[in-house]
Amino acid sequence: MALRHLRVLPHPLTNFTPKLSPNRPKHRVCFSLSASPIMASISRKVLVPIADGTEPMEAVITVDVLRRSGADVTVASAGNQLTVQALHGVKIVADAVVSDVADTTFDLVALPGGVPGVDNLRECGVLEKLVKKHVEDGRLYAAVCAAPAAVLGPWGLLKGVKATCYPAFMEKLASYTTTVESRVQLDGKVVTSRAPGTTMEFGVALVEQLYGKQKADEVAGPLVMRSNHSDEYVFAELNPVQWTTENPPKILVPIANGSEEMEAVIIIDILRRAKANVVVASLEDKLEIVASRNVKLEADMLLDEAAKLSYDLIVLPGGLGGAQTFAKSETLVSLLKKQRENRYYGAICASPALVLEPHGLLKGKKATAFPALCNKLSDPSEAENRVVVDGNLVTSRGPGTSIEFALAIVEKLFGRKLGLELAKTIVFTSP
């Protein structure tokens, strides 16, 4: 067995400590100033505005994590249509348009980044008015990536606070406020963060501010988050083979009602950043699916159409409902069995245990899966690894390992250099 290493350099961190899986060191996220979380048993109302050009990982991870806490999250389009064309060809269907919720009182407004998404958010007059009143009322607000510098700063909402943002926007941010290089930064009522690779920490930090540390720990545990961003991350590789593909490689990512939205979007986003030809196929009778935390995503085509094509790699996101649908699909299972013969395939979270294992697709293979489902693997000997590559198969554990999973795939398809570059680009490792 070989362990492949990608270097993770230290980052100044911020004072939030999510609960992690047993026997792992705690990952500290320290805040510069303390703020009293809103403590209550009632559901907190959250607005996550999105626009054409929004960074899909940042939007979807934020929504997913907050909904895990029980927050009532409204995804609102800053345009005139519910369907938003996010970056990297990801289509997100909003719950409402911003004008529909202009008079609603929210406990938190959280802005994702992405260019030109941040420009479209900033130019939405209804959103600007809503957010400024929200801040004047002393309520919690947040932004990630380019949004602190390109939206909150120009709106005058960062005066006198410390904030962080995407590294390339730090100079711009400095014209509005005091900058820090924390992965997540809390100052008073504003929380800021750096990039797609810090968004899960950002989301859990928001949960702590809304509901308290106990709830944040409860949410963080099942995510299988990384224990320490200053450590190297590794993936276990057994029976190594050189992956050879078309240029660009063609990849099928099936989705269904109940698929885990973070896992699906992270896989799609990162593989498309690597310039892979990714086809997103719906197993439902329409393109739109409702994922496990009620994020609505739109596929490129239906599975029956996608099945007419050939792929270098088929990779399954998790999510209990989605995995159950995958396992029942004769079309998808047939594709996977053919894929196993001479091409590449992968799965994360519930899918290795609930899709691959029952159909004999893990026979003779080492794999991992979501911790609570590893007892369903016929060979769980490598299941403690966050990502396992065994020949032409790659598996992983859960939402918090999705970026490592996607980077491992990039490395196998395109080489280590590109994997490292992407890890830095999304601030998963030091830029």
> Nearest CA to 114 among 182, 43, 175, 199?
199
User: Hey, how many other C-beta atoms are within 10 angstroms of the C-beta on 430?
Assistant: 15
Residues 6+ apart with CB under 8 A from 213: 16, 17, 37
* Partners of residue 251 on adjacent β-strands: 278, 313
User: At residue 375, what is the residue type?
Assistant: N
Residues 6+ apart with CB under 8 A from 350: 260, 318, 319, 320, 322, 323, 369, 370, 373
Pairing state between β 393-396 and 387-390? antiparallel
Separation between Cα atoms, residue 278 and residue 288, nearest integer Å = 17
Separation between Cα atoms, residue 204 and residue 68, nearest integer Å = 10
One DSSP character per residue, 267-312 reads HHHHHHHTT-EEEEEESSSSSEEE-TTS-EEE-SEEHHHHTTS--S
Cis check for the bond before 10: say yes or no (omega within 30 of 0). no
267, two tokens = 């896989």
Active site residues: 145
Separation between Cα atoms, residue 137 and residue 139, nearest integer Å = 6
Separation between Cα atoms, residue 398 and residue 319, nearest integer Å = 9
Strands (DSSP E) found in 169-265: 178-179, 184-187, 190-193, 233-238, 250-255
Compute CA distances 112 → 76, 119, 366, 385, 418, whole Å: 12, 11, 37, 31, 25
13, with CB counted inside 10 A (0-12, 13-18, 19+), is buried
Separation between Cα atoms, residue 49 and residue 70, nearest integer Å = 19
* Partners of residue 93 on adjacent β-strands: 83, 296
The single-letter DSSP state of residue 357 is T
- Max intra-chain CA distance, the chain: 61
